[in-house]
Chain A
Amino acid sequence: MEVLQYEFIQNALITGILISIAAGVIGSLVVVNRITFITGGIAHSSYGGIGLAIYLGLPVLFGATVFAIITAIIIAILTLNNKKRIDSIIGIMWAFGMALGIIFVDLTPGYNVDLMSYLFGSIIAVSSADLYYMLFLDIFIISIVLIFYKEILAISYDSEFARLRGVNVKFFYTLILILVSLCVVAAIKAVGLILVIALLTIPTFVAEVFAKRLSTMMIISSFLAILFTILGLVFSYLYDISSGASIIITAVVFLIVVKLLKR
């Protein structure tokens, strides 16, 4: 237990808990709206924001946030207006964002920080400033979901009926994508851009087995995400393996066991 005395371990655990709360709430929205691929697009293209922030000397998380929000709005507009080719368009934005990020990093003189940490996470290297930023994002995401819960539930379940009842479907769809982009950014430090999809979807897949309501699904998902993150961190420490990958493998094993038992 003396390992808990190290500040970086404490920070890692707090990060894991903060991220897991957001991932449970947003992951539920991602799964019930079937926008996993869109989420992947937002996550990966936000790498462009990371590169741009490094190039301009801005705080990395801030750069990624702005870039991810812009991507989310663009994808929302494209999806709402042209559903036919949306999968190709997202695929293109996905690659374009990453390419942009790589080029900006190339152009930055003397830059040699480990890029891998943004792709696969580095929960052990979280600063206190990062923690406050994640706490702020958490509070923001949860407040918005609480305030607009009715509308978000309505457009997620039956957007046509919601529209007939006077709900601004376009606005709330865009809002959901913006929340997704914020959550993705918050999770970069913990599991990285590539693995964030797993943290968003796996707890929700498990929760789906038990949840009768969207709100219950969000709560169960958050607790499961916390469990996976902490267990993953423990395995990562015990066996000296990468924390992000360790968290995801823990989650996948848990998912398989639950789905098999439920048969």
Chain B
Amino acid sequence: MNIINVKNLFFKYSKINVLEDINLNIKEDDFLAIIGPNGGGKSTLLKLLLGLLKPQKGEINLTLKTDDIGYVPQNTNLNIDFPITALEVVLMGHIKKQKSLFGYSKADKLCAMNSLKQVGMDEFANSKIGDLSGGQRQRVFIARSLCANPKVILLDEPTANIDVKGQNDIYELLKELNKNICIVVVSHDISVLLNYAKNVAHINKNLVYHNIENLNKKIDNENEHMCEVELLAALGSSHNHSSCNHVH
């Protein structure tokens, strides 16, 4: 079943078109990778899906409540000096759930601890967020988005500034979560992402959609190695991709 349906969407900042005629369906069990060059409109699309921006033309239909969308923002390395513990960050996901006069209820805290356990960060619950590594911090932010029991999680560049081991750990975690939740990831690390994603949307003003299984078959048929630059170019063209023709 489609949970997010984008139809003929246009968006521009002042007079420059950022997104043109975007059509996209996201299914409830999808693992969608949104890739494309910088400034191609990836983050803008994410913000539109979240309702942080409004499209000028076209529509976005959700078959879920906005509360069912979890969000992991791009730069979790900002505000590192802030005096806040991992548990408190996760509790932010709960902020409107229950009205208790002072602070959070026991149930909220229990739920937040469970989210932390899910991402393997429960033993760091009382660590200051700035004392954690980039990868650990990212897990805490994923836990925060899990806190509200979302049906879909949107992640904006979750592995930027994280080492390779940390990146793989994050993707393994997302794969695990994908058993119950739809995952939408905006990312640069295409080669890693293609091992995990089910579908790919390449965005550079326009959107080109690929199913990973078909894509892999196609690449196998070509029987040639592709570097990331070529892969990205191939994914961006809606036609058959050209084979390797530049010098490495």
Contacts and interface: CB of A to CB of B under 8 A. Distances in A.
Nearest to A149: B103
Given A146-B102, A150-B103, A213 B95 contact: no
Contacts of B88: 153, 213
Interface string B41-70: 000000000111000000000000011000
Contact of B95 (A28, A162, A216): A162
B126 interface: yes
B93 A165 contact: yes
A212 interface: yes
Interface string B72-90: 0100000101111100110
B73 to A, nearest CB: 6
A212 B86 CA distance: 10
Interface residues of A, number: 27
A166 B96 contact: yes
Interface string A169-209: 00000000000000000000000000000000000000010
Contacts of B127: 212
Given A146-B102, A153-B88, A157-B89, A211 B96 contact: no
Contacts of A165: 92-93, 95-96, 148
Contacts of B66: 164
Given A154-B95, A157-B92, A162-B95, A217 B83 contact: yes
A7 interface: no
B72 to A, nearest CB: 9
A28 B81 CA distance: 12
Given A149-B103, A164-B71, A157 B95 contact: no
A161 B92 contact: yes
B102 A161 contact: no
B84 A213 contact: yes
Contacts of A130: none
B171 interface: no
B103 to A, nearest CB: 6
A212 B50 contact: no
A208 B82 CA distance: 9
Contacts of A164: 50-52, 66, 71
The bracket for how many chain B residues form the interface is 20 to 34
A161 B71 contact: yes
Contact of A208 (B51, B81, B103, B104): B81
A162 B84 contact: no
B73 A154 contact: no
A150 B71 CA distance: 19
Interface string B178-212: 00000000000000000000000000000000000
Contacts of B67: 166
Interface string B4-32: 00000000000000000000000000000
Is chain B's binding surface mostly helix, strand, loop or mixed?
Answer: loop
B96 A208 contact: no
A89 to B, nearest CB: 23
A158 B92 contact: yes
A147 interface: yes
Contacts of A161: 71, 73, 92, 144
Q: Which of B85, B92, B144 has the most CB of A within 10 A?
A: B92
A169 to B, nearest CB: 12
Contacts of B51: 164
A102 interface: no
Contact of A212 (B79, B95, B101, B126): B126
Given A147-B102, A158-B92, A212 B85 contact: yes
Interface string A62-101: 0000000000000000000000000000000000000000
A158 B71 CA distance: 12
A151 B99 CA distance: 12
A106 interface: no
B109 interface: no
A147 B104 CA distance: 11
Contacts of A166: 67, 95-96
B101 A213 contact: no
9 contacts: A32-B83, A147-B102, A150-B95, A158-B92, A161-B71, A162-B95, A165-B92, A212-B127, A213-B84
Given A32-B83, A153-B84, A211-B83, 14 more contacts: A146-B102, A150-B91, A150-B104, A151-B95, A153-B92, A157-B82, A157-B89, A162-B95, A164-B52, A164-B66, A165-B96, A212-B127, A212-B128, A213-B84
The 6 closest A-B pairs by CB, nearest first: A166-B96, A212-B128, A211-B83, A217-B83, A165-B95, A154-B92
